[in-house]
A and B are shown apart, each in its own frame.
Chain A
Amino acid sequence: MTSAHSKLYSDDVSLVVVVVDTNPFFWAAAAAALPFADFFAHLIHFVNSILLLNHLNRVVVIAAGVSSCAYILDSSDVSPSGGVGISDTFDRASRKAEEFIAQDARATAGNGSVASANAASLLSGALSLALCYIQRIFRSGTRHPQPRILCLQGSPDGPEQYVAVMNSIFSAQRSMVPIDSCIVGTQDSAFLQQASYITGGVYFKPQELNGVSAIRRLSTWDMFVQFVCQYSARIRRSVQPAGQNSVVSCLI
Chain B
Amino acid sequence: MYGVGGGGGGFNAPSTTAGRRRNPGDEEEDEEEEGGEGRVLEAWERAYADERSWELLQEDESGLLRPIDTKTLFHAQYRRRLLLRSAAAAAARIQKGLIRYLYIVIDLSRAASEMDYRPSRMAVVAKHEIGGSPESQIKALMGKLECSGDSSLQNALELVHGYLDQVPSYGHKEILVLYSALNTFDPGDIMETITKCKKSKIRCSVIGLAAEIFICKHLCEETGGSYTVALDESHFKELLLEHAPPPPAIAEYAAANLIKMGFPQRGAEDLISICSCHKKIKSGAEGYICPRCKVNVCELPTECRTCGLTLVSSPHLARSYHHLFPVAPFDEVTPVPNRIQRGGQICFSCQQSLFNPDGQSNLHVRCPKCNQHFCLDCDIYIHESLHNCPGCESERSITS
Contacts and interface: CB of A to CB of B under 8 A. Distances in A.
Interface of A: 1, 3-5, 66-71, 74, 107-108, 111, 113-114, 122, 124-126, 128-129, 131-133, 135-136, 139, 160-164, 166-171, 173-176, 194, 198, 242-243, 246, 248, 251-252
A111 B319 CA distance: 32
Contacts of A122: 393-396
Contacts of A243: 266, 269, 285
25 contacts: A5-B127, A67-B395, A68-B395, A69-B390, A113-B400, A114-B396, A124-B393, A126-B394, A128-B386, A128-B388, A131-B386, A132-B381, A135-B350, A136-B378, A162-B318, A163-B322, A163-B325, A166-B319, A167-B322, A194-B315, A198-B315, A243-B266, A251-B263, A252-B263, A252-B314
Interface in B233-275: 263-266, 269
Interface string B373-384: 000011011100
Nearest to B382: A132
Contacts of A176: 135
B338 interface: no
A134 B238 CA distance: 25
A167 B377 contact: no
B393 A125 contact: yes
Contact of A132 (B127, B135, B285, B350): B350
Contacts of B53: none
Contacts of B394: 68-70, 122, 125-126, 128-129
A67 B396 contact: yes
B74 interface: yes
Nearest to A74: B351
B341 interface: no
Contacts of A251: 263-266, 313-314
B398 A111 contact: yes
Given A135-B381, A167-B386, A128 B263 contact: no
Nearest to B351: A71
Contacts of B381: 131-132, 135
Given A167-B388, A168-B388, A171-B385, A139 B377 contact: yes
B399 interface: yes
Contacts of A135: 350, 377-378, 381
B349 A113 contact: no
